[in-house]
Every structure is written in C-alpha cells, then in structure tokens.
Structure 1
Amino acid sequence: MNQRCDYPHFQPITTRWHDNDAYGHVNNVTYYSFFDTAVNTYLIQVGGLDIHDGEVVGFVVSSACDYFASIAFPDLIEIGLRVGKLGNSSVQYELAVFKVGESEACAAGRFVHVFVDRASNQPVPIPAGLRGALERLVV
C-alpha cells in the first residue's frame, strides 16, 4: 500500500528542529502543514495559482492522515502527491510522506480543496490552468 511508485509528483520538505515533539518525533499535526505546503507549491508553480491577488482561492474542507512509521528532525522527506477525485469546484488530494530513498510511506493523508471566489466565498468551477495541472495528477 502507499508505495512511492503510486505518486506522480513529489515535493521535497526539510524537517525542522521544532517539528519534533517531546517524544522525539515529528508531531502528528505537522504532517498537515507538510501536505498543505506540497499542494500549494504545486498549485502555484504548475497551476499558476495567485495566492495574493487571484480571484479564486482553495479552502480546505476536509482532511485526514494515517501514520505508519515515525519521522524526526533532521530526516529529509518528500511528499508524494496525486489526485484521487477531481470535481467541478473541488479536488481530493491523496498524499504520502516518504523518507528520501525509501519506497514505503511513513504516513498517508488526504484533503479536499473547494475552490471559491475570493470576494464572495462561493464555490466556482476550477479555473482552466489549475484544472490542467490537477488532471496531470489524477490516478
């Protein structure tokens, strides 16, 4: 399950000293930050998302994560990214955390973005540039 070969895109992430908790591993809530960073980096770099002035923004409406093995600073990790479902105004991302060089995920998560009009906060169709970028990740 959750093998590196199952993901078409990877975002390198550098763990930080303060990611570790009192138990000596990356705290569970930090994984959501890794996921958010991987998705938004892809949307900005590949999909052309303008987070500062764009008319459309993505809101996270659902998220979850399952943990299989711990990571800790100073581990080098990569977040695998794919799209499990692409709707009219929403997308479900499927993500996995891999230590660099390892084929099995340490954690796997998912979250849903709903794209909305920045001014009204009402759902809108995913713009063509973003949709094209997301279609590349559909499995």
Structure 2
Amino acid sequence: MKYENECVTYFAAKSQNESLTRVLVTSFLATYDPTVSEITDVKTAVSEAVTNAIIHGYEGQDGMVELFCGYAEETIYIEVADKGKGIGDITRAMEPLYTSKPELERSGMGFTIMEAFMEGIMVVSTPNLGTRVSMYKKLSRE
C-alpha cells in the first residue's frame, strides 16, 4: 500500500513504554483532525497490542517492539510487532476471556478490545519468531 504519511518506531519491551506509544500514536493522528473518540479508540487498541507484545511476547525478557503508523485514504493503519515467543493458536488466543497468563490476573480481553475499537484487525504469528498485529480505522473527518 502507498501511504500518504508513515512512521516506524522501535522501543524496549518494558511496561513503562506502553504510555509512550499512546503519545506517539496521538501525535501521529493529530495531523488528520480525528475526533476525540477516534483518538481514544486507537490509543486503547494500541495499548492492548503493546501490552500483549511485552507481557506475552517477551515474558519479561529483553526485546524490542515495533510500532508502525500509516495514513492513506482517510484511514489510520497501525502495526505492533515483536520478535518474542509467538502465538501457537491464534484463534484460541483471540477468544474473549482466554488468557495464557491467569496467574497475572489477565482478563483475556486484549484482542477483543482491539477488535471493538478498530474496524479491522489481523494477527500473524509464528512460534519462537514473534507476532505482528495489524489494525486499521477509517477516520470520520467530521
């Protein structure tokens, strides 16, 4: 796809960087005059994807997370990728309330939240190689 604008950022897989991603995404979005609701939706979905990469992808180990933001045809495209442990069964992982970390009191709603706040989501993962979550949302341009 040809994007009108795009940026890629890499950051350490540390929980304190999750708030950084919300700021980065908000700054990228601001140029396109989104509604407050659209900003909130995208920030929430990105937070969930980044949290999954840190907690499930790297499980406390060192690693880097990639955040891609792209804009084309009044649509924001977001990708969050890690090179962590990957997901063995994506269909199961995307079921509401499923969590592979019940001992951490995880709700198992990360993918469900991403699906609720974005118009489309695709997850590609290979065990021991990592996961890429791709999402998009058309902006209303009110």
Task: Provide TM-score, normalisation by structure 2.
Answer: 0.36
> Whose strand fraction is larger, Structure 1's or Structure 2's?
1
> Whose helix fraction is larger, Structure 1's or Structure 2's?
2
